[in-house]
């Protein structure tokens, strides 16, 4: 039972008898499918088997956190944070595998910039995002590499999604937005390693 009335019941520590009760916010925003919506989203966001095992395991943790956000809505934000950490790990691993000179104070922002400059990733990582149609002609995709860099890592004028999630706990995203961000991460990670597999025949 929630003893702290300053915290809503939906954001309180789960009790044994409520641990599998869906968070009403997640239930309402699941496109009428309930838990199946979350499961379908996670199943369609897996990394390629060509990605190193330790990175796939870490990304699966992010997907599992997303799955459990059906029962605790704010876990969706934790899933994104974990996914961004997985992306940073994947970029650092790519750096090692290409024998690139060591990057001074590597960060997600610096590593993403390097990945774009070296053409390790390209805009097709975001092909999963919906195209906008006008007069039956496709307009530009909603995302591209530089836009993702600014969105996640920030600029001189904004903090970036990763920092917002870390420092603004009141920030909430809809489940559909959360899974799109996880798919962005998956698309980039797949690009980092699938090309290596084709060129070298091994990971």
Share above pLDDT 70 across residues of the chain, in percent, rounded to a whole number: 86
Tell me, what's the pLDDT at 202? 41
Strands (E), the chain: 133-134, 137-138
Tell me, what's the pLDDT at 197? 53
Per-residue pLDDT tens for 72-95?
A: 999 999 999 999 999 999 999 999
Whether the CB-CB separation of 197 and 94 falls below 8 Å is answered with no
Tell me, what's the pLDDT at 133? 44
Q: Which letter, b or e, does each residue of 151-162 get, where b requires 16 or more Cβ atoms within 10 Å of its Cβ?
A: bbbbeeeeebbb
Q: Which residues of the chain have pLDDT under 50?
A: 132-137, 139, 198-203
Domain boundaries, the chain: 21-200
Tell me, what's the pLDDT at 171? 82
Tell me, what's the pLDDT at 3? 57
Q: 199 Cβ partners below 8 Å, 6+ apart?
A: none
């Amino acid at each position: 039972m929630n003893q702290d009335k300053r915290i809503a019941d939906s954001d309180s520590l789960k009790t044994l008898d409520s641990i599998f009760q869906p968070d009403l916010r997640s239930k309402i925003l699941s496109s009428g499918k309930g838990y199946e919506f979350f499961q379908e989203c996670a199943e369609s966001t897996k990394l390629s088997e060509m990605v190193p095992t330790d990175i796939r395991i870490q990304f699966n943790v992010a997907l599992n956190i997303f799955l459990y956000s059906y029962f605790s809505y704010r876990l969706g934000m934790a899933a994104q944070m974990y996914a961004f950490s997985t992306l940073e790990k994947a970029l650092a691993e790519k750096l090692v595998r290409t024998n690139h000179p060591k990057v001074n104070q590597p960060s997600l922002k610096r590593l993403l910039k390097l990945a774009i400059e070296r053409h390790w990733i390209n805009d097709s990582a975001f092909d999963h995002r919906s195209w906008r149609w006008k007069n039956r002609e496709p307009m530009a995709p909603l995302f591209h590499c530089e836009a993702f860099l600014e969105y996640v890592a920030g600029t001189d004028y904004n903090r970036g999604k990763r920092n917002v999630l870390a420092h603004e706990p009141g920030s909430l995203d809809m489940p559909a937005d959360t899974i799109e961000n996880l798919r962005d991460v998956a698309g980039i990670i797949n690009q980092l390693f699938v090309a290596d597999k084709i060129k070298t025949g091994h990971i």
